[in-house]
Amino acid sequence: MSILLSNISKKFGAFAALDNINLEIPEGELVALLGPSGCGKTTLLRIIAGLERADQGRVLISGQDRTHHDVSQRGIGFVFQHYALFRHMTVFENVAFGLRVKPRKDRPSNDVITKKVHALLELVQLDWLHDRYPDQLSGGQRQRIALARALAVEPSVLLLDEPFGALDASVRKDLRQWLRNLHHDLNVTSIFVTHDQEEAMEVASQVVVLNHGRIEQQGSPSAIYDQPANAFVSGFIGQTNVFDLEHHDTEWLQAAGLSTLHQQGKIVHVRPHDIVIEKSSAGSDAFVILKDWQHLGALIRIELVKSEANRPSASVYAEMPNEQFKRLQLHKGDKVDLRIRHAHWFH
């Protein structure tokens, strides 16, 4: 179901957690609310869920105003960061809970509940754990049970609060992929909160970037990465080199191939993979010194410093495929030429 938020604001004391948020989420999307901690993303998710009340604004779920509906009446599924499984119930009872608390006239029979719970547990590939208690499960298993529990009531919207935040890296990677596939199969409108831009880019079909209680940009992962709306988004999504024209040598940047003729702003962001380095040719004045490099799997991250020895300057990072780097046969301390292929300008 589609979600429409209009003019949502929320204050905690004097702190404005959310400032006039307008957001439309079409049906069937898998949306990431992305932002640094304290940006209001969890608060926004909780307002959509009805676990928190907005000071002003409206929440519409599939066209119906649900602003004043209690969380139990909204038809949402919520997955908590720390799972919030009922520790006094078995895995089976946890998943069955949402069905058992339905009013008697809507409540399915015991047989139907049993069948449905086992089907859900098979969906999350954990049916063999049905008689365990939550304390006996690993983090990844608990998260999957929490997801199965939320899905049991067939929510129109699935909300996940930092679903992978408390898991270790390898489990997180598996679960991300798994969540993406699950969403593909079920096609239920889903929103998840994360502070990890990589996770947002990898899992979501739409990314909403939040900062200081405002939406900075909304769009597909590629749009956000390729056309960042402002310096914050550019800096938050992926690695970037920041050049401030007031502090940096404009000539130096020009020599690196960056046209500063039509200055479109004062700040230049350059992605590491948009920087090309070559062995320094004689007579070039843009040379920088290769300080160090790190292996990032298929890529090499190269740390470069400007050659003015008397003035310590910030490092510039470039990235290139492993093979290409080997071919250049560079050593630490070598002088290299640097060329900027593409840059984003901001004010």
Partner 1 sequence: MSQSSIMPGLRPTLGFTVVYLSLVVLIPLSTLVFQSFQLNWEDYVHIITNQRVLSSFRVSFSTALVAALIASFFGFIVAWVLVRYEFFGKRFFHALIDFPFALPTAVAGIVLATIFQPSGFLGKLLIDVFGVQVAFKPLGIVMALIFISIPFVVRTVEPVLLEFEASMEEAASSLGATRLQVFNKIIFPNVFPALLTGFALAFARGVGEYGSVIFIAGNLPYVSEIVPLLIVTKLEQFDITGATAIALTMLVISFVLLLLINMLQYWVRKRSGQL
- Site of interaction with partner 1 (CB under 8 A): 49-51, 70-74, 76-78, 80, 82, 84-90, 97-98, 101-102, 133-136, 146, 149-150, 152-153
Comparison of 39 and 79: residue with beta carbon closer to partner 1 = 79
Nearest approach, Cβ of residue 21 and partner 1 (Å): 21
CB of 35 to partner 1, least distance (A): 21
Which residue in 230, 237, 228 sits closest to 202, CA to CA? 237
Least separation in angstroms between residue 85's CB and partner 1 is 8
Q: How far is the CB of 70 from partner 1 (least distance, A)?
A: 7
Nearer to partner 1, 77 or 140 (CB): 77
Distance CA 27, CA 30 (A): 9
- CA dist 231 to 34, 270, 339, Å? 15, 11, 22
Q: Least CB distance from residue 201 to partner 1, whole Å?
A: 28
Nearer to partner 1, 5 or 76 (CB): 76
What stretches of the chain show up as alpha helix (H) in DSSP?
41-49, 91-100, 110-123, 139-151, 169-186, 197-203, 221-226, 231-236, 250-255, 322-328
Q: Distance from CA of residue 41 to its chain's centroid?
A: 11
End-to-end distance of the chain based on CA atoms, in angstroms? 38
CB of 50 to partner 1, least distance (A): 8
In the bound state with partner 1, the residue whose beta carbon lies nearer, of 88 and 341, is 88
**Number of helices (H), then strands (E), in the chain:** 10, 18
Cα–Cα distance for residue pair 324/327, rounded to 1 Å: 5
Cβ closer to partner 1: 70 or 246? 70
Nearer to partner 1, 84 or 223 (CB): 84
Distance from C-alpha of 97 to C-alpha of 113, rounded to nearest angstrom: 10
